[in-house]
Amino acid sequence: MSIAIYADGADLETIAVRAADPQISGFTTNPTLMRKSGIEDYDRFAEDALAIVGNRSISFEVFADDFPTMEKQARKIASWGTNVAVKIPVTNTRGESAAPLIRALSADGITVNVTAIMTTQQVAGVAEALSADTPAIVSVFAGRIADTGRDPVPYMVESKRLLAGKPKAELLWASPRELLNIFQADACGCDIITVTDDLLKKLQWIGRDLDVLSLETVKMFHDDAVSAGFSIEIN
């Protein structure tokens, strides 16, 4: 596969483990993951994370809801390192498009990671706003699209087409739900997929013999029944 795997999370110990894994090409974080990890000092967390990941790409997200403050945060985050991508939500909480901000940042050579994208219309707007000369990441939340009962693959294929005029923009499959999504993302031309640690732990399952896996599953059910002391009265 040619797709790059980025580790998604905000636990520094886990980031350190993944930084030692040559399969991991980069890292992403977000305020929700940081909150779950108990992060209280954003700047300190970023400093520690950057020291761990070396020169690999890492994304940090703005959290303001008004665009002027969002821009100030974005420019500060961008100053943390040349390998930093600034995550900008595709809209604010009022549904107002972030395209003007994306355009301004991208025109100034700042690498943005546009996040929380769910529609191809949003991708088209982002593509129009991006500078052709500046690297960018376009994060389409394929997993959340799938959660609505829609097949995300056509969305990702169309998103890749919409980004064709911006050769430095990379399409990212966000919020995968299973390892199969890595292969789907690769097949439809995505450049990056973010993978949480629980899924990364399953990478060892790729290509496993299904007969062996079947037998292991049967043994698991049997052992758990015995350990629980289950019994059924049979006359």
Q: Is 29 left (phi over 0), alpha (psi -120 to 50) or beta?
A: beta
Half-sphere exposure of 30 (CA within 13 A, CB side): 16
Q: Report which secondary-structure segment, H or E, holds 105.
A: helix 99-107
27 Rama sector, left if φ>0, alpha if ψ -120 to 50, beta otherwise: beta
The confidence score (pLDDT) of residue 235 equals: 81
User: Tens place of pLDDT for every residue, the chain, 235 residues?
Assistant: 899 999 999 999 999 999 999 999 999 999 999 999 999 999 999 999 999 999 999 999 999 999 999 999 999 999 999 999 999 999 999 999 999 999 999 999 999 999 999 999 999 999 999 999 999 999 999 999 999 999 999 999 999 999 999 999 999 999 999 999 999 999 999 999 999 999 998 988 899 999 999 999 999 999 999 999 999 999 8
CA distance 56 to 50: 9
Judge whether 58 and 28 are in contact, CB under 8 Å.
Answer: yes
d(CA 192, CA 27): 11
- Amino acid occupying residue 180: L
Tokens 């894994």 correspond to 21
